[in-house]
Amino acid sequence: MGGRRRGGGGGRCLPRVPRRPVVSRRTHGLRGWVLQRLTALYLALFLVYLLAHLILSPPGSVRAWRAWVGDPLVNSAWAVFFAALLMHAWVGVRDVVMDYVGPAGLRLGVLFALGLYLFALGYWALVVLLAAAP
């Protein structure tokens, strides 16, 4: 019995196969990466639409601008734009802070301040959009 290795196998030592994938979605930020790409896509498409609209039929007055923004479909598109912009900013700056701010307390403080700032911007955008709605 002295020449046999544990586990049998006739003396061969096979490499151990991991049960879980080596690259995990949670540990490598796949969700954040996908969210960044989706929000960037919406932001780009909306900006192309906005520029095309402003070039092809520019509003002649503030009243015309407010009427256009007050349209429910356009107003909803603006709301999604601001939500996507805030999510895009959160994910991007959060990743930078997580990578480059060392002390955990400082990192938490910076993320908390960023969250408050983005929340305030989102609230302001909502107030403006609701004021433009009929």
**pLDDT at residue 6 tops 60:** no
Structurally, what CATH architecture does the domain formed by 35-132 represent?
Up-down Bundle (1.20)
Question: What per-residue confidence (pLDDT) applies to 113?
Answer: 98
Mean pLDDT of 55-62: 93
CB-based contact 95:32 (threshold 8 Å): yes
pLDDT tens-place string over residues 9-30: 556 666 676 666 555 545 568 9
Cα–Cα distance, 77 to 11 (Å, whole number): 67
| Cβ-proximal residues to 74 (8 Å cutoff; 6+ apart), any chain | 68
**pLDDT at residue 1 tops 70:** no
In the chain, what is the straight-line distance between the N-terminal and C-terminal CA atoms, in Å? 88
pLDDT tens-place string over residues 28-52: 689 999 999 999 999 999 999 999 9
Angle of CA points 115, 120, 121, to nearest 5°: 100
Question: What per-residue confidence (pLDDT) applies to 133?
Answer: 82
